[in-house]
Amino acid sequence: MNETIDLLVVYHSQSGNTERLAQAVADGGCTVGSVVVRLMRAAETNADHMRLARCLVLCSPEYFGYMAGAVKDLFDRTYEQVREEMVGKSYAVVICAGNDGTGALSSIERIIAGYKLRKVQPPIIIRGDVSSEHIESCRELGRTLAAGIDLGIY
Ligand SMILES: Cc1cc2nc3c(=O)[nH]c(=O)nc-3n(C[C@H](O)[C@H](O)[C@H](O)COP(=O)(O)O)c2cc1C
């Protein structure tokens, strides 16, 4: 696998909420034509995708006060293989939760600290029903990341 992935948007979703947010991030990224965007389910993402990605957006629902198991599984499957190649890459996080989201975010950030990625945008936590404003904020995140990639700063 030797394709380029500028912006890799990885998500898990059971009832579709996080998927809508992840799709919005990817749509926003696609507005900058030169940026190659890939939207992938965490379960289908492997070490090669992580290596190829220049900028990573992790989108997870909160389940039981933690990230989704499939997102944790991605870390479990790839950490040893990719950690040295991930140092300094840009990342952002989107959490979709019923009413909290802080447990999912902190669990992801704890693991990300081990990868030594660079947080380039503040995390987004969406609580409750996904609204058009939420979708727009995720689109905006995608646009901002893509613009930064295009400028060579992310
Ligand atoms: C098994 C399960 C556990 C959940 N645990 C939490 C939780 O701890 N905190 C919270 O705010 N929401 C919790 N929720 C609500 C989900 O985070 C919320 O419905 C979210 O939008 C689901 O995203 P999805 O449609 O992408 O799966 C839980 C939902 C499920 C199904």
Q: What's the pLDDT tens digit per position in 136-148?
A: 999 999 999 999 9
Query: Closest Cα to residue 26, out of 13, 14, 37, 35?
Result: 37
72-87 confidence digits (pLDDT tens): 999 999 999 999 999 9
Q: What is the distance in A from the centroid of ligand 1 to the CA of 93?
A: 16
Q: Which domains does the chain have, with CATH numbers?
A: 5-151 (3.40.50.360)
CB-ligand 1 contact for 128 (6 Å cutoff)? no
Closest ligand 1 atom, residue 99 Cα: 11
Residue 107 beta carbon below 6 angstroms from any ligand 1 atom: no
The bridge status of strand 37-41 relative to strand 124-127 is unpaired
For residue 110, how far is the Cα from the chain centroid? 15
pLDDT tens for residues 31-55?
Answer: 999 999 999 999 999 999 999 999 9
pTM given for the model: 0.97
CA separation for the pair 140, 114 (Å, rounded): 28
Cα separation, 146 vs 1, in Å, equals: 22
Given 3-state DSSP classes, what are the helix, strand and coil percentages for the chain, each rounded to the nearest 5? 50, 25, 25
Query: What pLDDT, on the 0 to 100 scale, is given for residue 2?
Result: 59
CA 56 to chain centre: 5
Q: What is the mean pLDDT of the chain?
A: 97
Q: What's the 84 CA to ligand 1 centre distance in angstroms?
A: 32
Interval 97-111 mean pLDDT: 98
pLDDT at 23 over 90: yes
Residue 14 beta carbon below 6 angstroms from any ligand 1 atom = yes
Q: Rounded to 5 degrees, what are φ and ψ at 108?
A: -70, -45
| pLDDT in the model for residue 3 | 82
In this prediction, residue 1 carries a pLDDT of: 60
pLDDT for residue 108:
98
